Amino acid sequence: MLSYRHSYHAGNHADVLKHIVLVEILEHLTKKNKPFDYIDTHAGAGLYNLQNTHATKLKEYEGGIAKLKPAEWPELQKYLSIVEQYNPHSALQYYPGSPLFALNYMRGKDRSWLYELHPNDYLLLENNTAKMKSVRVMQTDGFKGLLSLLPPASKRALVLIDPSYEIKTDYQLVVDTLISAYKKFPTAVYALWYPVVDRKQIDALQRGFIRSGMKNVQQYELAIATDQYGTGMSASGMIVINPPWTLMDKLQLVLPKLVEQLGGEGAFFKNDQLVGE
């Protein structure tokens, strides 16, 4: 039984990085009129109340979204305006999860596939997306679900893989799943989130992609402290396969400023072309 609940962590520095990358990709994909499929293999609950007992226990959002003031961040206007939509009375109370960021961009012709295994979060996700069209919410394994959907009829897709890594084999499973997905459908935009709790795991993850035969793989990382071991997550990152050409420039602009605003001593960032085009 999985025990991870994203409601304890919503809006933290890792969510900020993940959702900035997600929004930038969605901006790019929706510039074209052609339909696309959004596949979220680990969707979470969809919307998080930052004033409930889960979020206020750790108050991780205070080191993330709560620090980003729209007036200081013209570069993040799109991302912050979506957060604002869920907080119409200006005080920060709700933080949207990846499905709601994506659904903000979905047009009538686009389709969304959301996977969530946790029974409570699955029900919340169903509720939080009930009024939206062309959305399918499934309480089944997202890794397997993804492979069953590829290639999509639209021939365009954005895939977000955002596990909690509660099961240590997930570090290898994400690489294996992405290799299989890429073989079935090499032109999708694939975005994978990872936490840095033990740098050796991420070194192995990177090697997995470098050896995979995939082309055009970028890596972005936001570290709020120097690497540590045994004291939790000091950084998180995104691996993006087939990124939009705008992504590197955007992150180059935003990451140093995020490090300054969200990071402590020893904070740093990475924006690397891990595998060339």
Catalytically annotated residues: 162
Residues whose CB falls within 8 Å of the CB of residue 115, separated by 6 or more in sequence, listed in order: 40, 41, 42, 43, 138, 139, 140, 141, 142, 145, 146
Instruction: Tell me whether residue 98 or residue 242 sits nearer to ligand SAM (CB atom).
Output: 98
Stretch that binds ligand SAM, among 86-94, 136-144, 196-204, 251-259 (CB under 6 A): 136-144
- 159 forms beta bridges with 39, 190
C-alpha–C-alpha distance, residues 192 and 176, integer Å: 12
Residue 43 binds to ligand SAM (criterion: CB under 6 A): yes
Q: Which residue has the tokens 């740093």?
A: 268
Residue 205 binds to ligand SAM (criterion: CB under 6 A): no
Q: What's the alpha-carbon Rg for the chain, to the nearest Å?
A: 17
Q: Within 70-99, which residues bind ligand SAM (CB under 6 A)? A: 97-98
Residue 162 binds to ligand SAM (criterion: CB under 6 A): yes
Contact with ligand SAM (CB under 6 A): which of 60, 110, 116, 221? 116
The half-sphere exposure of 116 on its side-chain side, counting CA atoms within 13 A, is 26
Residue 64 binds to ligand SAM (criterion: CB under 6 A): no
Tokens for 85, please give them: 């939509």
Report the C-alpha dihedral over residues 45, 156, 273, 229, rounded to 10 degrees.
20
Structural contact between residues 66 and 59, judged by C-beta atoms closer than 8 angstroms = no
Stretch that binds ligand SAM, among 38-46, 174-182, 205-213, 251-259 (CB under 6 A): 38-46
Sequence-ordered alpha helix ranges (H) in the chain = 13-29, 53-58, 77-85, 98-103, 119-128, 142-149, 170-184, 199-210, 247-262
Cis preceding linkage at 88, omega within 30: no
Residue 195 binds to ligand SAM (criterion: CB under 6 A): no
Stretch that binds ligand SAM, among 25-33, 117-125, 210-218, 268-276 (CB under 6 A): 117-125
Closest distance of CB 118 from ligand SAM, Å:
3
Residue 13 binds to ligand SAM (criterion: CB under 6 A): no
Q: Within 209-268, which residues bind ligand SAM (CB under 6 A)? A: none
Residue 24 binds to ligand SAM (criterion: CB under 6 A): no
Closest distance of CB 146 from ligand SAM, Å:
9
Residues lying near ligand SAM in the complex (CB under 6 A) are found at 2, 4, 6, 18, 42-44, 97-98, 115-118, 121, 141-143, 162-164
